[in-house]
Amino acid sequence: VSAALKEGHVTPTELCQRCLALIKSTKFLNAYITVAEETALKQAEESEKRYKRGQPLGVLDGIPVAVKDNFNTAGIETTCASNMLKGYISPYNATVVQKLLDQGAVLLGKTNLDEFAMGSGSTDGVFGPVRNPWSYSRQYKEKSVPKSHSEDKESNWVITGGSSGGSAAAVSSFTCFAALGSDTGGSTRNPAAHCGVVGLKPTYGLISRHGLIPLVNSMDVPGILTRCVDDAAVLLGSLAGHDPKDSTTIQDTFKPFKLPSLPDVSKLSIGIPKEYHAPGLSSEILALWSKAADLFKNAGAKVIEVSLPNTCYSIVCYHVLCTAEVASNMARFDGLEYGHRSDMNKSTESMYAATRREGFNDVVRGRILSGNYFLLKQNYENYFIKAQKVRRLIANDFLKVFRSGVDILLTPTTLSDAVPYMEFIKEDNRTRSEQDDILTQAANMAGLPAINVPTALSERGLPVGLQFIGRSFQEKQLLTVAKWFEKQVKFPMIQLEEVERHNHNVFQHQKSASFS
Amino acid sequence: AAAWGCAGVWRRAWQRGAGGPGPALHGQRATACNARGGAVPAGKSGLAPWVPVVGLEIHAQISSNSKLFSGSQVQFAAPPNSLVSFFDASLPGTLPVLNRRCVEAAVMTGLALNCSINKKSLFDRKHYFYADLPAGYQITQQRVPIAVNGSLSYSLCIDNKMSQMVTKTVRIKQIQLEQDSGKSLHDDTRSQTLVDLNRAGVGLMEVVMEPDMCCGEEAAAAVRELQLILQTLGSSQAVMAEGQLRVDANVSVHHPGEPYGVRTEVKNINSIRFLAKAVDYEIQRQIEELENGGTILNETRAFDSKLGCTVPMRDKEGKQDYRFMPEPNLPPLILYDAKSLPANMNHQQVVNIDWIHERLPDLPSVKRAKLVERYGILPEHSFALLNEDGLTEFFENVVKQTQMKPKKVIGWILNVLLSYLKQHSLTVKESPVSSFLLADLLNLLERKEISSTAAKQVLAELWKGEGKTPLEIVKEKKLELIQDHKELEQICQAVIDGQENEVIMIVLG
């Protein structure tokens, strides 16, 4: 598309309008919380002027993008899908948003998520659940014949995964070319897997978190959702680097890179961590996983089984660390400076209590409660300190494996394909998050870069992805392997009947997977 | 032994307090006084003597252009909420960025207080809900502070006699960097609370002093010395009235040989004078309470400067659990010295302890020693000089411009100039008599052109600040000493001639 823009086959305004039209016709997906139509068109216009002058700002100029609604955007509502921040307009842009805008990207809107990114379904936000575009694909419809005709067709739709489900759905349904998510325990990779898109969680400290409303500061990373690995590399190049506003970003300058067009994996050593053969892993995915391993083997790579023995403690440990930081991070939402404020005015304390009761959903409140419990003086040693020690052990597991000569780890991203919403909500958020983060979350503990690459369709016609985990700050190697793999598996394009019906022409144009 | 050192001071504090409030204390006063009156193991009532123990926690606002973790300005008495960045207001998504100047100020202070500087220190979050704490937590250094294990020497005079000075030392437990809170103003009539966040996020150094003091006078002297040090370093302006130096005192009493008693924390002390009062009051109160068979509660009390007593502070939420947690948005604070400084490191980005050490100014104790040595003045005079901002410079300027010996000049400075300034509540800088004029006057005196009585008269004229020189005043008022013998004879003759009868009487005996 970038080339098309350059050559004038399509103008940024046309592109933007088409995306906006698509957003409207796919409104039922509930992928967007806010659509910034006006500002987007203005940005597109500006971009068009630059192209006309022959001075585009770079490969991102004029490219329509979407941003998860937990990144601050000046002038556009930032809600975190919470009553607490409904109507909140931030006075500043998150660094990553600013970087996108500075490079000419057109910001279409803010995407849906679980409240404050706490969840793995994108079902627990105040604006309602996000629907997986694949629910409406020809592929899914053909394969998943309702067991009984009495079953409502409507209830068959599947979840996107989460918490960046809105961003994944937006990219998957062609309403934008790339989207920002956030990834704390798998929140970018999980929905990417369910929606059949590329989801990259870069190394902790490579991309600025300034302006990302935190879930767990020590694990949060802005995530990148795109249609192909090359696009993810472009986005990474435009976002990475030291930010003086985020002291946890690394000082070294980041050099954007281009991936080789014919990647070679023959000299690599691919590790298959046996602990990722987790209970509940679907046989389909297991088969796919070993097939993938064979692909590498056949390409001349060394494929070895490795062990990350402390992986099994990861979820419990995550629960303690996550809730503790959540309890702390959420303390600022007291109704005084911004956000929701309850009418209760008997005393400051009662106002706090009512504000927080009204502003947060059960999931957020539950995590705040348990987090505060873990931080109590009498519990701190037994829970928080222990969890930190376990976290170190988990990180060391990875270090050891990488030190032993393994370059990249190959694992499944999710235990199964996406489940129908009606199925999903039978379990509570906590149980779901624990199950769904199980394969993604250790990478956050260790701060490692990881990527979901869409691999195949399940028997039900839903996307399944595999995950690659790389060494710290070795994104280039990770993405090179991912690109090679992407080329091998030739993941099918989503066939969105409803989108096609409404926007036949638009769809044709949007089909080009890559914008780079 | 330290407990006995201030026995004299203690007695005075007692007497001063006699007219004060707290009727409940009256009955026991005599007993307690005897018990503390000297190194007598038991008082009249047969009780063992009490040993008061005083520790201090001092918050010094760092003198810096911007706040500890944000770029907003630091300024006293600016319009409400005019100095608030997004971070200070805790807008979601904002992150702290450590201010290098604040780190340097803390290192400087740590070095001046003989601390060991931690090359790696950590930041923590301390949680509590309060309207003037927007984030719901304060970023502080609970686990590993920037400086530890120091000491501060201070001097105080015994029985208020300048000539009897003793030097004592208090151990410094630690210095930690932390954020200041905003300010809440409660409007009771309209039952609303107004919040000003100008102060929110300003850098503080919390200096924790070990409980090595035993009376208000000691606490006051230690804080005064700390204040001078901070002002000399420029790490804090340390003006108590402006809240740049806030002192909380931990006070307990126990019998010798027994473990420390339950302590109370006294807050809301806004001058050094009140610190001495508050501590002494609290010691008295505790002794009275215990001797009456009562117990001391581990509570926070506020000093009421109007009543001169401490009162329990309403502690709405009971015991607080601050739920400390490492601050995840700040990497460990790493400091370097000449040895550990990496060669390729950008010097703008690192704090070098040795570099700061080499550039420390003379501390008050060194300045005093130099004054004593250079001018031959008494040690207590050097204290007096340093105690007033600008007085040392004034003194040295006068000395430079006059032939009078420094030992004599000091008398004029301390007894005449200083007492005049104090009487009129003026600072040295506001003195209507400049060092140049005073030197001029002292030169007239030194050359015996005027008497010292006359000099004082001239000075009285000079205070008026009418722009006249001492010499002009002397001429105008005819105050010069008469050097001509004939003139003197004539004057004497005239006096004798004018008093014929008296002269005859004297001659007749």
As for the ipTM of the complex, it is 0.93
Test B325 with A211 for CB contact under 8 angstroms: no
Residue B47 near chain A (CB below 8 Å): no
Distance between CA atoms of residues A23 and A31, nearest Å: 8
| Min Cα separation B325/chain A (Å) | 7
Residues 6 or more apart in contact with residue B39 via CB below 8 angstroms: B4, B7
From B96, B98, B193, residue closest to A348, measured CB to CB? B193
pLDDT-wise least confident of A77-86, A118-127, B4-13: B4-13
DSSP 8-state symbol, A198 = E
DSSP string, A19-47: HHHHHHHTGGG--EEEE-HHHHHHHHHHH
Looking at the domain A1-146+154-315+386-489, which fold is it? Amidase signature (AS) enzymes (3.90.1300)
Full-model pTM: 0.89
Distance between CA atoms of residues B209 and B151, nearest Å: 8
Neighbours of A70 (CB within 10 A): 34
Residue B185 near chain A (CB below 8 Å): no
Distance between CA atoms of residues A365 and A360, nearest Å: 6
pLDDT at B480: 76
Alpha helices (H) in B188-302, listed in sequence order: 216-233, 272-291
Distance between CA atoms of residues A67 and A205, nearest Å: 20
- Reduced to 3 states, what is the DSSP secondary structure of residue B266? strand
Apex CA B467: angle with CA B463 and CA B470, to 5°? 70
As to burial, measured by CB atoms within 10 angstroms (0-12 exposed, 13-18 middle, 19+ buried), residue A32 is: buried
Residue B153 near chain A (CB below 8 Å): no
pLDDT at B23: 37
A-chain CB neighbours of B329 within 8 Å are 217, 246-248
Residue in chain B lying closest to A244 (CA): B97
Here the tokens at position A516 are 């780079």
Query: Residue A200 — pLDDT band, cuts 50, 70, 90?
Result: very high
Distance between CA atoms of residues B70 and A214, nearest Å: 18
Neighbours of A487 (CB within 10 A): 13
Residue B318 near chain A (CB below 8 Å): no
Q: In this structure, are strands A408-412 and A450-457 parallel, antiparallel, or unpaired?
A: unpaired
Q: Are A34 and A76 in contact (CB under 8 A)?
A: yes
Walk across the sheet containing B116-117 and list its strands: B116-117, B147-157, B165-179, B203-213, B51-61, B245-254, B264-269, B300-304, B309-312
Q: Are A132 and A418 in contact (CB under 8 A)?
A: yes
| Min Cα separation A390/chain B (Å) | 16
Show me where the domains of chain A are located.
1-146+154-315+386-489
pLDDT-wise least confident of A58-62, A472-476, B279-283, B312-316: B312-316
Q: Which of residues 325-344 of A touch B (CB under 8 A)?
A: 325, 327-328, 330-334, 336-338
* Mutate which: A80, A322, A375, A385, vs B, most B CBs within 10 A: A375
A-chain CB neighbours of B135 within 8 Å are 331-332
Test B131 with A348 for CB contact under 8 angstroms: yes
Residue B419 backbone zone (phi > 0: left; psi -120 to 50: alpha; other: beta): alpha
A100 vs A3, A93, A236, A237, A414, CA distance in Å? 18, 10, 11, 11, 30
Characterize A344-372 residue by residue with b for buried, 16 or more Cβ atoms within 10 angstroms of its Cβ, and e for exposed.
Answer: beeebeebbbbbbeebbbebbebbbebbb
Query: Residue A181 — pLDDT band, cuts 50, 70, 90?
Result: very high
pLDDT at B477: 81
pLDDT at B490: 80
| pLDDT tens figures, A318-345 | 999 999 999 999 999 999 889 999 988 8
Show me where the domains of chain B are located.
52-334, 382-477
pLDDT at B21: 39
What does each of the 509 residues of chain B score in pLDDT, given as a tens digit? 333 334 333 333 333 333 333 333 333 333 333 333 333 333 445 567 999 999 999 999 999 999 999 999 999 889 999 999 999 999 999 999 999 999 999 999 999 999 999 999 999 999 999 999 999 999 999 999 999 999 999 999 877 666 678 999 999 999 999 999 999 988 888 878 899 999 999 999 999 999 999 999 999 999 999 999 999 999 999 999 999 999 999 999 999 999 999 999 999 898 999 999 999 999 999 999 999 999 999 999 999 999 999 999 866 455 789 999 999 999 999 999 988 888 777 777 789 999 999 999 999 999 999 999 999 999 989 999 999 989 999 999 999 999 999 999 999 999 889 988 999 899 999 998 999 999 999 998 988 888 888 888 888 888 888 888 888 888 888 777 776 777 777 877 888 788 878 888 888 77
Residue A270 backbone zone (phi > 0: left; psi -120 to 50: alpha; other: beta): beta
Test A85 with B92 for CB contact under 8 angstroms: yes
From B95, B127, B131, residue closest to A246, measured CB to CB? B95
Here the tokens at position B176 are 């930690």
Here the tokens at position B279 are 């501590």
Residue A452 near chain B (CB below 8 Å): no
Residue B350 near chain A (CB below 8 Å): no
From B98, B325, B331, residue closest to A324, measured CB to CB? B325
Test B91 with A71 for CB contact under 8 angstroms: no
Residue A368 near chain B (CB below 8 Å): no
| Min Cα separation B103/chain A (Å) | 15
Neighbours of A423 (CB within 10 A): 12
Distance between CA atoms of residues B218 and B211, nearest Å: 11
Q: What is the mean pLDDT of residues A102-112?
A: 97
- Residue B366 half-sphere exposure, CB side, CA atoms within 13 Å? 7
A-chain CB neighbours of B138 within 8 Å are none
Residue in chain A lying closest to B196 (CA): A337
Test A85 with B323 for CB contact under 8 angstroms: no
Closest-CA residue to B212 (of B86, B55, B381, B326):
B55
pLDDT at B39: 32
| Min Cα separation A323/chain B (Å) | 12
Distance between CA atoms of residues A97 and B15, nearest Å: 69
Residues of A taking part in catalysis: 68, 163, 187
* Mutate which: A182, A332, A340, A385, vs B, most B CBs within 10 A: A332
A-chain CB neighbours of B316 within 8 Å are 349
Alpha helices (H) in A299-456, listed in sequence order: 314-329, 348-359, 362-375, 377-380, 386-403, 421-424, 429-436, 441-446
Distance between CA atoms of residues B450 and B432, nearest Å: 21
From A94, A245, A376, residue closest to B321, measured CB to CB? A376
The dihedrals phi and psi of B25, each to the nearest 5 degrees, come to -85, -20
Angle at which helix A348-359 crosses helix A362-375, to 10 degrees, equals: 120
Residues 6 or more apart in contact with residue B37 via CB below 8 angstroms: B7, B11
As to burial, measured by CB atoms within 10 angstroms (0-12 exposed, 13-18 middle, 19+ buried), residue B120 is: exposed
Here the tokens at position B386 are 């340093």
Q: Are A465 and A454 in contact (CB under 8 A)?
A: yes
From B93, B135, B330, residue closest to A331, measured CB to CB? B135
Residue A213 near chain B (CB below 8 Å): yes
Test A247 with B98 for CB contact under 8 angstroms: yes
Distance between CA atoms of residues B505 and B509, nearest Å: 6
Say what the alpha-carbon torsion angle A459, A461, A463, A466 is, to the nearest 10 degrees: 20
Residue A217 near chain B (CB below 8 Å): yes
Q: Are B76 and B240 in contact (CB under 8 A)?
A: no
